[in-house]
A and B are shown apart, each in its own frame.
Chain A
Amino acid sequence: MRQQAFLEKINPVKDKMYRLALRLLISKEAAEDATQEVIYKLWARKDKLKDYTNVEAFAMTTTKNYCLDELKAKKNNNLRIVHQNYENNSISLQTELEVKDEMLWINQILNELPEQQKIVFQLRDIEQLEFEEIIEITKMKSTAIRVALSRARKKIRESLTNKHNYGITKD
């Protein structure tokens, strides 16, 4: 496969891979590095890539595994991936800020979820993939996926509700 053909195949998946990496690694830098690294890996194995009917699923699986390995390696070395995703807080409307605040809050909650739940939530709610595709990517059982998804969704909503009711205390 030539570079051009390879890039055409990988480009539509690239951002999905990046978003998954970002969800797991949190740091933008690390996520970009990871995506780049995984694409290198795919490129090195480009001849085998033809055999996979679903290149997207294979690319996503590779990304997932790479990020999990990365996290494990960092944990073993007692290191944490520090993120420096500073948003430029330009002056905007109050409501916009509030929405942004909520979005950051949800991000925060997601960051604290177990890896499996992060992955499943990312693939289902954000990338909106079918369960079959998620099974192929994660190699998890259908029921396990649904359980993880349910837990993630409930946890996020719970935290949101708690945050909003904070100080109101209704018993």
Chain B
Amino acid sequence: MELQKIRELLEKYDAGETSLAEENALREYFQKNEVPADLKSYGLLFSFSEKNKTQKMQREVELPSQAKGNKYLWTAIAASIIVIVGLFFFQNKPMEMNHSDLGTVQDKEEALQKSMEALKMVSELMNEGKEDLIYLKEFNNTKDKFIKTE
């Protein structure tokens, strides 16, 4: 492109009338050709805009994460697993009792004595309870007055 035409385009450019295609042609011309001193400012302007176009944002864009819901979900799952496993262990514990837990006595003599004691205690308590049954006789006596069983 001849310089005369470039000057015309530059005038249009100054007026804000150039199309994108024309502006690109100008940029290309200034990149490839030496221009007269009075046009240097255009060249600087063009390389400025070229340079600035490559600027990029350094920071990563973050969105309010959907993972937030997931995070709680996983915590919930972990918590329920712990609870279930815990319950399982606690319920199984009584099943694994030892003989010693039952209070079994190994010595025969002692065992006899202990069982006697236990049986005695039971019978004593039984007799104690039976004493209260005397009142029931009174009930029978009264009943006999009305109902003859002979």
Seen from chain A, the residues whose Cβ lies within 8 Å of a Cβ on chain B are 3, 6-7, 10-11, 14-15, 18-19, 22, 28, 31-32, 35-36, 39-40, 43, 99, 102-103, 106-107, 125-128, 130, 145-150, 153-154, 156-157, 160-161, 164
Which residues of chain B are within 8 angstroms of A146 by Cβ–Cβ distance? 15-17
Residue pairs across A and B with CB atoms within 8 Å: the count is 86
If over half of B's interface residues share one DSSP class (helix, strand or loop), that class is named, otherwise mixed; here it is: helix
Q: Which residues of the partner chain B approach A18 to less than 8 Å between Cβ atoms? A: 55-57
What is the CA–CA distance of A147 and B13 in the complex, to the nearest angstrom?
A: 11
Please tell me the number of chain B residues within 8 Å of chain A, measured between CB atoms. Answer: 29
Contact A6 B63 (CB under 8 A): yes
A-B contact pairs, 27 of them (CB 8 A): A3-B66, A6-B63, A7-B63, A15-B56, A18-B55, A19-B52, A32-B59, A35-B57, A35-B61, A36-B59, A39-B63, A40-B63, A107-B48, A126-B49, A126-B52, A128-B24, A128-B49, A145-B16, A146-B15, A146-B17, A150-B15, A153-B16, A156-B45, A157-B41, A160-B40, A160-B45, A164-B40
How far apart are the CA atoms of A22 and B48 in the complex, in Å? 15
Measured in the bound complex, the distance between the Cα atoms of B53 and A131 in whole Å is 18
Q: Is A43 touching B57 in the complex (CB atoms < 8 A)? A: no
- CB of B57 within 8 A of CB of A32, answer yes
Chain B residues with Cβ below 8 Å from A126 are: 49, 52-53
A153-B64 contact, Cβ under 8 Å, with A19-B55, A147-B16: no
Query: Which residue of the partner chain A has the closest CB to B56?
Result: A15
Kindly name the residue among B16, B42, B55 whose own CB sees the greatest number of chain A CB atoms within 10 A: B16
Looking at the assembled complex, report how far the CB atom of A106 sits from the nearest CB atom of chain B, in whole angstroms. Answer: 5
A11 CA to B56 CA, complexed, in Å: 11
Write out the residue numbers on chain B whose beta carbons fall within 8 Å of the beta carbon of A40. 63-64
